[in-house]
Amino acid sequence: MTRIEEAFSSAGRPLFIAFIVAGDPDLERSVAAARALIEGGADIIELGVPFSDPVADGPVIQRADVRALEAGATPEMVFEIVRRIRQFSTVPVVLLTYYNIVHHRGISRFYREAGVAGVDGILIADMPVEESGPVMKVAAKSGIDQIYMVCETTSPDRLERILENAKGFLYLVSHMGVTGVLSALPSGATAIVRDIRGKTRLPLAVGFGVATPAHAEELYQAGADAAIAGSVIVEIIEKYKDDPESMRESLKKYAISMRAATNRRAGA
């Protein structure tokens, strides 16, 4: 059983997945941000691998990518961040990346180095399942769960192929568009959970626009196994990038509030 499988199977409640851009605003503060989120109760850490053209991301995460790249972020820095997280936590770590980064480093090398560093899952945002054969073979050899995104426009045929190949959990996109904080979840967020729920035993994690405990609870009530918050966390990092102590305190406080939503659902 992988660490991701263990996290979902042993919790007895929904999970809170926290996203940050690896290397934002630099290596040390990125590790400190991950630690604060874990101390606050994050069940899984999702690290965005900085990229110059993150087509799935809104302006908040795009700015974080720029800060990380200007600080010298590379895949090696990302793996170093994972290694440092492993020094104080066994919480699963998932990478969200783009195929160009993986291809440029070499698929086998990227996955081998990720596995050695302690990565548990990888999601390649722009990789169609139809073209994922070589990656799937390497992922299996490296002991890494290959995670896929599903959205409301995913065709039945493509969904079937994704369900045949996906490991760890399914990343459900709450709405069409890019990442970013929403004041209210779109109706499609709960609809996609209910639609996919009866088609797979894989855990369902919902991202894009998720920002508050109320959002998380709404998703949990619909049957989601995890809520993924990203832009709201990256906004905190951006706000306090020059005040590390306030950053840590604010991130931990936020994680505590999101973890409390999972506990309330467990007691419902």
Catalytically active residues are 46, 57
Nearest 5°: phi and psi at 132?
A: -95, 5
Cα distance between the two ends of the chain: 28
Angstrom CA distances, 39 to 33, 45, 105, 251, stand at 10, 12, 33, 9
Q: Are 230 and 46 in contact (CB under 8 A)?
A: yes
Nearest Cα residue to 36 out of 18, 63, 10, 48: 18
Q: Is the peptide bond before 25 cis (omega within 30 degrees of 0)?
A: yes
Q: Where are the alpha helices (DSSP H) in the chain?
A: 3-11, 27-40, 59-70, 75-86, 99-105, 107-117, 133-142, 156-165, 187-197, 213-222, 231-239, 244-266
Of the candidates 210, 231, 223, 190, the one whose C-alpha atom is nearest the C-alpha of residue 65 is: 231
What does the alpha-carbon distance between residue 252 and residue 67 come to, in Å, rounded to a whole number? Answer: 22
Q: Name the pairing type of β-strands 121-124 and 204-207.
A: unpaired
Contacts of 30 (CB under 8 A, 6+ apart): 20, 21, 22, 23, 24, 68, 81
Instruction: Enter the DSSP assignment of 242.
Output: T
